[in-house]
């Protein structure tokens, strides 16, 4: 059984992660401060660490420097590209922005803990697959490389199948990854995404709800 150390000072988020990962079959340990995390590492080496950055005691960045050889997924509310780049350069294996979707997070954890090393995590809907590492959409042998904004839109829709997502919610939730997307340009990005899927021979399960938003059927 793989062991995951959750380093998170918010009890509600820590409990949510512990419960979800326990259901996935992982052994879970918790630390609620940077100092407590270092002590936990001395007791036993985990297979993977989920690391918040804003911690009492030692900061997440300081803890990260002591985790050489252990896959670390940073889970933080910091959404600036500069933050992500600096943490990845510092040794993090991956970076997930809060608020996060549990399905995406567990997919990334599973990818990092595969015996043969990390493999691309996938989201699936019908015959359509979205590679979370390469931003490539696939259906059978057909594939399409998506732009950053197209990827963010499709990922959010695939994480919420069957739910109507309003334009405002789409913009709010993809803002961290695509700050250039505006209400005026969203329709254009969506049109380009759907046309790209169809032109490459992929399934296009996206539907428009007139005057409201979009849905993944």
CATH of the domain at 21: 3.40.50.2300
Could you list the pLDDT tens digit for every one of the 217 residues in the chain? 889 999 999 999 999 999 999 999 999 999 999 999 999 888 888 999 999 999 998 898 999 988 877 899 999 888 777 878 888 888 888 888 888 888 889 988 988 887 655 545 778 888 888 988 888 999 888 899 999 899 989 988 888 888 888 888 888 877 766 767 777 788 899 999 999 999 998 988 999 888 888 899 8
Query: Do residues 208 and 164 lie in contact, with contact meaning Cβ atoms separated by under 8 Å?
Result: no
User: Do residues 68 and 15 both lie within one domain?
Assistant: yes
Task: Please count the structural domains in the chain.
Answer: 2
30 lies in a domain?
yes
Domain housing 187: 122-216
User: Do residues 61 and 139 both lie within one domain?
Assistant: no
- State the residue for tokens 């296009």: 204
d(CA 55, CA 63): 10
User: Do residues 63 and 92 both lie within one domain?
Assistant: yes
- State the residue for tokens 């995590």: 121
pTM score, two decimals? 0.56
Among candidate residues 78, 74, 77, the one with its CA nearest the CA of residue 64: 74
Task: Compute how many other C-beta atoms are within 10 angstroms of the C-beta atom of residue 118.
Answer: 15
């Amino acid at each position: 059984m793989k062991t995951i150390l959750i380093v998170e000072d918010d009890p509600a988020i820590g409990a949510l992660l512990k419960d979800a990962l326990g259901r996935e079959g992982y052994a879970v340990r918790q630390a609620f401060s940077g100092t407590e995390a270092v002590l936990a590492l001395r007791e036993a080496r985990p297979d993977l660490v989920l690391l918040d950055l804003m911690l009492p005691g030692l900061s997440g960045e300081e803890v990260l420097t002591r985790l050489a050889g252990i896959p670390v997924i940073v889970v933080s509310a910091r959404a600036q590209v500069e933050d992500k780049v600096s943490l990845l350069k510092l040794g993090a294996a991956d970076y997930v922005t809060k608020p996060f979707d549990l399905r995406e997070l567990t997919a990334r954890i599973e990818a990092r803990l595969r015996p043969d090393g990390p493999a691309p995590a996938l989201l699936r809907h019908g015959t359509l697959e979205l590679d979370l590492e390469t931003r490539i959409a696939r259906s059978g042998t057909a594939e399409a490389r998506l732009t950053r904004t197209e990827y963010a839109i499709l990922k959010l829709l695939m994480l919420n199948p069957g739910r109507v997502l309003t334009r405002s919610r789409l913009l709010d939730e993809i803002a961290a990854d695509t700050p250039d997307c505006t209400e005026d340009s969203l329709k254009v990005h969506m049109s380009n995404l759907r046309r790209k899927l169809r032109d490459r021979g992929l399934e296009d399960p996206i539907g428009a709800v007139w005057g409201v938003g979009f849905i993944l059927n």
